[in-house]
Structure 1
Amino acid sequence: SIVNDAHNQHLIAWNNSGTSFFIYNATRFSQDILPIHFKHSNYSSFVRQLNMYGFHKINKSPRGQRGSNEYEVWEFSHKNFQRDNPSLLEDIKRKTMDSELLRRENGDVHASLATMQQYQADLLRQFKTLEENYSNLLQNMEEMKKTQAQQQATIRKLLDYATQTSSSKYEDIIFLWSSLMCLLKSRQTKICQK
């Protein structure tokens, strides 16, 4: 109805064949026509709307020779927007994404989600393994502290005994000392193997 209105012919009109329409002054068109038919007066938004419904701009002015919106002529066309064929208007629909593209994107999302879930499960397993290793390490450290305390107590007893005994029992002390060292080495090996 905008294009067919005789009062608007100075701003918007059909081409001679009725297969496209011209907008002669985008600034005045935005100020005078858009607010009457739309909730805005933004020409760029109007052009975006046309594009969303499959209209194409036919560029008449060569690159670099465009003037201001006041003098530039814009031409738009759509195969189902024709002056003498209003029954085609019902075929003008907002562009939707191709169903195959949607299906592909949906598959990509599901694949990404599955990958992320697998990655999360792997991280959880690694975290549990780290927790177990940390717990074992703490337990081993406690056992080593106990063993070290026992060793120090035994060494003190041996030193006390050595200072109180005569040199004749020195051989007994050396035997006890070597036995103690063997015992300590076997305990450390046992703890480290855990």
Structure 2
Amino acid sequence: MRGVRNGALPPFVNKLYNVVCNKETDFIISWVPNLDVLDGAKSFAIWNIDEFINNVLPLMSKSKNFDSFITQLNNYGFKKMSWDCREYAHEWFQEGKPHLLKNVKRRRKQTVSELEKLHREIKKIESSSKEQDNELNVFKAYVDNTISNQKRILQTMARAIKSTIDHHNQVRKMHGVENNNDATQHLTLVGQQGHKPSVLGESSFAPTCEIQAEDKSAKNTTENN
């Protein structure tokens, strides 16, 4: 098995690195090849979970509990790279660079004061969220009220315009009836006057006839003489 032996490293990190580097177990657990051939792999994968639990995990711990192994990975900051397979990585856990392993450290447990601080931050965020919700509700109410007022104004204007148009049409109809009545009365009066003899005609016709009769009588007298 090719790996490292360093008493300064955490046992879990040291054993894991040796297991991943072991070529004899590459079909169970191995480095994931890097696309850059000049650089070593930066993640490892477990290819056969059953073989890993039965044959490899006992080399690292006294238990065959795979969940405990995953917990250890999380405690040291390893991250799962893919949901399709069990691939894990750590920025200081790289192929051919065992000197970087000193930077792989167990996460420090949070103290009570840190948890309280985190709790206060959560409360602060929740309070801020409530204030934003209240402001949003006030603004929404303002917008709804403004829209409602605008609708009422438009409806009032529409009714006023319709009333004006109706009144205008009614006035036009009334004037149209009056004009028709005046025209009818005028035509009726003209027709009645056309059937009556003119007084002026009567007075002017009689004298003319008398003058013509006198002229004719005088002419006959002259001819006889």
Q: TM-score range with shorter-chain normalisation?
A: 0.3 to 0.5
Larger radius of gyration: 2
What's the TM-score once normalised by structure 2's chain length? 0.42
What's the TM-score once normalised by structure 1's chain length? 0.48
Which one has more relative contact order, counting CA pairs under 8 Å at least 6 apart? Answer: 1
